[in-house]
A and B are shown apart, each in its own frame.
Chain A
Amino acid sequence: QSALTQAASVSGSPGQSITISCTGTSSDVGAYDHVSWYQQDPGKAPKLVIYEVTQRPSGVSHRFSGTKSGNTASLTISGLQAEDEADYYCCSYARSGIWVFGGGTKLTVL
């Protein structure tokens, strides 16, 4: 199972919106709505920010939103803040209890 494809880096200024894409195949992202997104600060464990493509866990800012179209899922962060600077990973269910992560995207807030 190949890793999902994410851009290595993305940047934005405070207050702007950015979108991180996650491209898979018709066997993973395109086949299931079990896509999640994780935020990871340096030296910390990942934190769930989106699950089931669009759902936001309790306590996660409403500035985080998720969508999916075909084989590509996307995470949008609106009203960018300095604290959003982190690595972001997508993850998708693939088949028969198999999961696959994206390679990760480093978000820089300028």
Chain B
Amino acid sequence: EVQLVESGGGLVQWGGSLRLSCAASGFTFSNHAMNWVRQAPGKGLEWLAYINAAGTAISYADFVRGRFTMSRENAKNSLFLQMNSLRDEDTALYYCARDQDWASDFWGQGTMVTVSS
């Protein structure tokens, strides 16, 4: 069974940093690209970042480029999102999602990040 479990969320002060993790199981992690997507309370989905299967190509949404860094460790079936210079508007539920056929076919349950000013 495909499982994605996010962790690392929490309460952080404005300007602070957090590192999110996503543990993958039930599939060959190294064969799949991955995405991070977030959802602010009561709002819609926002795509944040994409990483290819090998970790050699990474892309970011304009509003996080330069502040967020996505990475992966295939040997440990793990995906990461390093978030720096956090702002109020970064408060959201952060999902990792598996990429298959140019879509996100499996999603974790998300980890909540709250930025306090």
Contact = CB atoms under 8 A, between A and B. Distances in A.
Contacts, number: 66
Contacts of B45: 38, 40, 46, 89, 91, 101, 104
B62 A103 contact: no
Q: B-side binding surface: helix, strand, loop or mixed? A: strand
Contacts of A45: 95, 107-110
B50 A52 contact: no
A105 B103 CA distance: 19
Contacts of A99: 35, 47, 50
Contacts of B35: 99
Q: A-side binding surface: helix, strand, loop or mixed? A: strand
* Interface magnitude class on chain A: 20 to 34
Interface in A24-61: 34, 36, 38, 40, 45-48, 51-52, 55, 57
* Interface magnitude class on chain B: 20 to 34
B1 interface: no
Given A45-B109, A51-B105, A103 B44 contact: yes
A34 B100 CA distance: 11
A97 B50 contact: yes
A109 interface: no
A96 interface: yes
A101 B107 contact: no
Given A96-B59, A104-B45, A57 B105 contact: yes
